[in-house]
Amino acid sequence: MEKILVIGAAGQLGSELTKSLSDMYGGESVIATDLNESAKSKFDYCQFKALDIMDQDTARNLIKNENVTQIYHLAAVLSAVGEKKPLFAWDLNMQSLLFVLEIAREFKLNKVYWPSSIAVFGPNTPKVNTPQYCVKEPNTVYGISKQAGERWCEYYFQKYNVDVRSLRYPGLIGYKSLPGGGTTDYAVDIYHKALAGEKFDCFLREDSFLPMMYMPDAIKATLDLMHAPSESVKIRSSYNLASMSFSPKEIYQSILKHHPDFKIEYHPDFRQSIADSWPDSVDDSCAQKDWGWQPDFDLDKMTEDILTNLPNFSF
């Protein structure tokens, strides 16, 4: 029987991924962990334990005593917060990943999942249809940590046969939790403002294109990758992953079709230069070819789904 540990389970991605893992494996097979006991109320369908992944003795005992077989390591400091606290971001993002990889090697875990990001790309990367393999000179601490993390994942696979798998997510958009300090957060916040009947102040320019993905597609991609036969997973750094690419003006126009009085203003801040360093769109043909990736949602389909379901969702 698999025993799956999710680290950073209470965040934007973890809240939805942990539920899908519990639906798939059964709640008794999933242990959700996050920093604070207060996150427990989110996880009435599986086990929950408060865990600071930097407290490595406690984490190691938990993994050993619970006979954990797989880890989904989601805890990280994201791009915008990372620029405010660079050394803290580097420390958390790198130490936690190295700890997880070492534990996976030592305890011979079946699988590890660790997300990377479009933040691995930088200003010298080709911006449109960014290839899987190209120049990567990230200029955010978050991006540097993801790039280094990818190299470590590949290293542990090649040297120690650790079955670690990873996706370079675009900006993830979901309505079931609030985002945690990234540059793509505006594309979540905008729906909340539209439904509240308030004007939206956008921290990016209206023409700032970024790769984005609706959360159900991100969950599908993650589970598809994790369930693909090992020999199909040919990239052990991290796979480019794509579904849609849009600008603030385009998401605004998509919402206007449902809320014609919705207003937006653009006040770019420090996050604009982060967005400018990232691709407009990425080429995910390796993911399509290796394990059959195809997204289900485009911008208008996502907008309709969020505007229909968010009003009935309680946090």
Residues belonging to the active site:
142
Question: Rounded to the nearest whole angstrom, what is the least distance from the CB of residue 8 to ligand NAD in the complex?
Answer: 3
For tokens 């289900």, name the residue.
296
122-181 positions binding ligand AKB, by CB under 6 A: 142, 171
CB burial of residue 300 (10 Å; 0-12, 13-18, 19+): middle
Which is closer to ligand NAD, CB of 182 or CB of 279?
182
Which is closer to ligand NAD, CB of 197 or CB of 270?
270
Q: List, in order, residues 6 or more apart from 2 with CB less than 8 Å away.
A: 25, 29, 69, 70, 110
Question: Rounded to the nearest whole angstrom, what is the least distance from the CB of residue 178 to ligand NAD in the complex?
Answer: 8
The site for ligand NAD, by CB under 6 A, has a size of 27
By CB under 6 A, name the one of 147, 183, 237, 243 that touches ligand AKB: 183
59 vs 68: CA distance, rounded Å: 11
Whole-angstrom CA distances from 115 to 249, 281, 303 are 28, 18, 25
285 vs 35: CA distance, rounded Å: 36
The entry of ligand AKB, ligand NAD, none that residue 35 binds, CB within 5 to 8 Å by partner kind = ligand NAD
For tokens 């120690």, name the residue.
160
Question: Rounded to the nearest whole angstrom, what is the least distance from the CB of residue 245 to ligand AKB in the complex?
Answer: 12
Structure tokens, 214: 């609706």
- Contact 104/112 with Cβ under 8 angstroms? yes
Residues of this chain that bind ligand NAD (CB under 6 A): 7-8, 10-14, 34-35, 51-54, 74-76, 78, 92, 115, 117, 169, 171-172, 179-180, 182, 184
Residues of this chain that bind ligand AKB (CB under 6 A): 78-79, 117-119, 142, 171, 182-184
